[in-house]
Amino acid sequence: MNNPPALDTPLKFLPGVGPARAELLAKELELLTFNDLLHFFPFRYVDRSRFYKVRDLMMASAEVQLKGQIHGFEEKGTGNKKRLTALFEDETGILELVWFKNYKWVKSQIKENEEYVIYGKINWFGDRISMPHPEIEKAEVFKKRGHLGLMPIYPSTEKLTKKGITQKVMQKLVYELFKQVGRNFPETLPEDFKNQNKLIDRSQALYAIHFPKDLNQLAQAQYRLKFEELFYLQLQYVYKNRLRKKKIKGHIFENIGPYFNTFYHEVLDFELTGAQKRVIKEIRKDVKSGAQMNRLLQGDVGSGKTVVAMMSMLMAIDNGFQTALLAPTEILATQHYKTISRWAEKLGLNVSLLTGSTKQKERKIIHQALEDGSLDILIGTHAILEDKVKFKNLGLAVIDEQHRFGVAQRAKMWKKNDIPPHILIMTATPIPRTLSLTHYGDLDVSIIDELPPGRKPVKTMHVYEKEKNKVYHFIRNQINKGRQAYIVYPLIEESEALDYRNLTDGYEEIKEEFLHDGYKIGIVYGKMPAEDKNRVMKKFKDGELDILVSTTVIEVGVDVPNATVMVIESAHRFGLSQLHQLRGRVGRGAEESYCILITDYKLTDDAKTRIQTMVSTQDGFKIAEVDLKLRGPGDILGTQQSGLIKFKIADLLKDRHILLRARLAAERLLESDPSLSAPENRTVALVLADLFKKKGFWNYIG
């Protein structure tokens, strides 16, 4: 016998394909080679082992299979209503078959008194049932073919179906593929490993995923292939992380010195939570290890990340290094500056703020102080990343809200010195573990999963637009008690849709409602000059304003403990994570706080789910899980995250447990054989090397 064709053979050489179909398959499904087709997995399966009776069709779902006889052909209608009908009959009843084309051919194929298997979608017209364009096969042939227990259904496009590449054709092509290349494929996982993780052979799995004998076999095949896919992804991450720690030297912060200790014992006026202490220890371990730290710090709004950042910076300063803190907006940078300079002052440390609106003269002074080493802490926005900004010895960079900084920007921070600074990335957007493992799997993660004591949950209510007067009444009450309120709108300008509230309209309305009673109202929005924005924010923070009307610019980090009401207008227009962030602006002081979500009366299902989730929980991780289900990973990670991973078979929403096992397996394997040099791990080493080669391993480090 000849050798089977290689898997990289172009698809046009597969019998049944040819140049025209090959082009279509390439264009529509990105299938180029035999191997691509082998790995083109069905997305669902139809149970063809079950036969319905006509009598039972009432209970049937869309697609059914029946066995019986066909007779009584009739041509009906004229013009484009022309059609062919026939009656299908089993022992229990009759249904009508209908064809709108090809019917001469159909008629010539079917014989009376012969038994057929038909398969298709059923339609109801009153109590009459019909099935348009059924798949038909002689019962005898169907029986001989035998293997149709579960029939694979492949992803397809309209164009493919139109051009005759139907499901049946796809199935035939895959069938032909196996005929050509056989059913033995190289194994990619070691024997022992497979046994430990209860995985079937790759060859078995690849056949069964296309043509499963039964549900059990299908489940095993899916598990094996999903596990493999997730395992190799995790193996890359874990390997990379280990290698980075080995290869990339980091500054060593040997001593915990006077600054850190003085801060902890004398400046800090609250007790750290257990979670904060744990995280600080994790960071401490990293920065004295000799390897560069690249740590993601996740902690819900209000969990106290700033103090962790401060204490990490003090570790650097204690060892003679400079530090930087990057924030995504000027408001945030300014706020960090205030918090941190208040602390730093008591320690005798120098802090500066560098943003887009820093004056040239001031900039020069900062540049100078950075270069001569007299500046200990630089806080700022993207302006810090400019090439002109040079540090004498940057030891640690903290990045707040990494969502808004791309990988490339993070990398810029690296190049500021010969030995890269340690990097601590802080995010208040809890990322579900499935996502952080699949998309930041090479970063180390610390989680603050505990709020400072004494926080009261924010009472969250859903109110319809019509009942807004009640809301205004409520706001009045709170202000009269000395509190402050935020009112947030989704849009800055009336642009896309005229039907929903926009900020300026809202502002007018609020003024009309409150101004004549002597309440003080301010407004901030994104396009406002930074100076004005800061001035208004400061007024609000200092209690000179009762109500702050704004867009989502106040979303992250803004800290005004006396504000107890967060009203969100057109709340159905906001995403879950935004709503959660906004709610996090209140409940920061000792008083009971409230979040009021105002919506239209009619809501989409997704909007309902978002509002209900907000009302029912305040757990950021729970909210993130719901968000992931509603929006999918792409939207959650945002467009800045270029390399959104497309999985062949794994599904982040459904395969969480497989992912966690695969991660553990990857960690264990590298723990026992860090360089994958043991003979039994040779296959794994080769597959991994191949993956790195394809991806340009070093490009996306950091």
Which residue of the chain is nearest ligand ADP when measured via CB?
A: 304
From 452, 494, 504, 521, residue interacting with ligand ADP (rule: CB under 6 A): 452
Cβ within 8 Å of residue 588, ≥6 positions away: 302, 559, 560, 561, 563
Least separation in angstroms between CB 637 and Mg ion = 20
**What are φ and ψ of residue 511, in 5° steps?**
-60, -45
Of 38 and 399, which has the nearer Cβ to Mg ion?
399
Contacts with ligand ADP by CB under 6 A: the residue count is: 18
Considering the complex, what minimum distance in angstroms separates the CB of residue 474 from ligand ADP?
25
Nearest to Mg ion of 557, 620 (CB atom) = 557
Which value, in Å, is the radius of gyration of the alpha carbons in the chain? 32
- Kindly state the tokens that stand for 376: 């200990």
Pairing status of strand 377-380 against strand 484-488: unpaired
Q: Supply the minimum distance, in Å, between the C-beta of residue 305 and Mg ion.
A: 5
Question: Which of ligand ADP, Mg ion, none does residue 382 bind to, with CB < 5 to 8 Å depending on kind?
Answer: none
Contact between 620 and Mg ion by CB under 5 A: the answer reads no
User: Nearest distance from residue 309's CB to ligand ADP, in Å?
Assistant: 8
Q: Which does 120 bind (CB under 5 to 8 A by kind): Mg ion, ligand ADP, none?
A: none
Calpha distance 554→548 (Å, rounded): 10
Considering CB distances under 5 to 8 angstroms, the limit depending on partner class, which of ligand ADP, Mg ion, none binds residue 578?
A: none
- Report the distance separating Cα 373 and Cα 320, nearest Å: 9
**428 touches ligand ADP by CB under 6 A:** yes
Of 188-196, 305-313, 623-631, 692-700, the segment contacting ligand ADP by CB under 6 A is: 305-313
Please report whether residue 449 would count as binding ligand ADP according to CB under 6 A.
no
Among 450-458, 549-557, 607-615, 679-687, the segment contacting Mg ion (CB under 5 A): 549-557
- In contact, 644 and 631? CB cutoff 8 Å: no
CA distance 99 to 210: 30
Stretch that binds ligand ADP, among 81-89, 123-131, 296-304, 370-378 (CB under 6 A): 296-304
For the chain, what is the largest distance between any 2 Cα atoms, rounded to a whole number of angstroms? 100
Work out which of 68, 302, 506, 587 binds ligand ADP, going by CB under 6 A: 302
Fill in the per-residue mask, 597 to 616: x = in contact with Mg ion (CB under 5 A), - = not in contact. --------------------
Closest residue to Mg ion in the complex (CB): 557
| Cβ pair 396, 320 in contact under 8 A | no
DSSP string, 522-572: EEE-TTS-HHHHHHHHHHHHTT--SEEEE-GGG-SS---TTEEEEEETTGG
439 binds, among ligand ADP, Mg ion, none (CB under 5 to 8 A by kind): none
Could you tell which of ligand ADP, Mg ion, none binds residue 301, using a CB distance below 5 to 8 A set by kind? ligand ADP
Extended strands (E) in 51-170: 63-76, 83-90, 93-99, 116-121, 123-125, 128-132, 135-138, 150-153
Residue 327's binding partner, choosing from Mg ion, ligand ADP, none, with beta-carbon cut-off 5 to 8 A by kind? none
Q: Does 302 sit near Mg ion (CB under 5 A)?
A: no
Q: Min. distance of Cβ 470 from ligand ADP in angstroms? A: 30
Asked if 490 interacts with Mg ion (CB under 5 A), we say no
| Contact map string, positions 255 to 284, toward ligand ADP, x by CB under 6 A | ---------------xxxx--x--------
Rounded to whole angstroms, the Cα distance separating 23 from 17 reads 9
- What is the Cα–Cα distance from 520 to 386, expressed in whole angstroms? 39
Describe the strand order of the beta sheet including 351-354 as a list of residue ranges.
351-354, 377-380, 322-326, 394-400, 422-427, 294-299, 444-448
Contacts (CB under 6 A) with ligand ADP, residues 502-521: none
Terminal CA-CA length for the chain: 52
Give the contacts of 702 (CB within 8 A, at least 6 positions apart): 294, 407, 410, 411, 414, 420, 423
Q: Considering the complex, what minimum distance in angstroms separates the CB of residue 576 from ligand ADP?
A: 17
Residues between 566 and 605 with contacts to ligand ADP, criterion CB under 6 A: 588
Which CB sits closer to ligand ADP, 110 or 272? Answer: 272
Closest Cα to residue 603, out of 617, 616, 613, 593?
A: 613
Q: 83-90 and 93-99: which strand pairing?
A: antiparallel
Q: Decide: is 430 part of the binding site for Mg ion (CB under 5 A).
A: no
Candidates 152, 441, 557, 587: give the one binding Mg ion (CB under 5 A).
557
Using the rule CB under 6 A, which residue among 38, 169, 287, 307 binds ligand ADP? Answer: 307
Q: Which ranges of 442-543 would DSSP assign to H, the alpha helix?
A: 468-480, 503-514, 530-541
Rule CB under 6 A: choose which of 25, 280, 301, 315 binds ligand ADP. Answer: 301
Q: Which stretch binds Mg ion (CB under 5 A): 18-26, 229-237, 555-563, 667-675?
A: 555-563
Which residues, 6 or more positions from 143, have their beta carbon under 8 angstroms from its beta carbon?
none
**Which H or E element spans position 691?**
helix 682-695
Nearest distance in Å: CB 276, ligand ADP: 6
Min dist. Cβ of residue 625 to ligand ADP (A): 20
Binding region for Mg ion (CB under 5 A): 557
Binding region for ligand ADP (CB under 6 A): 270-273, 276, 299, 301-307, 428, 452, 557, 559, 588
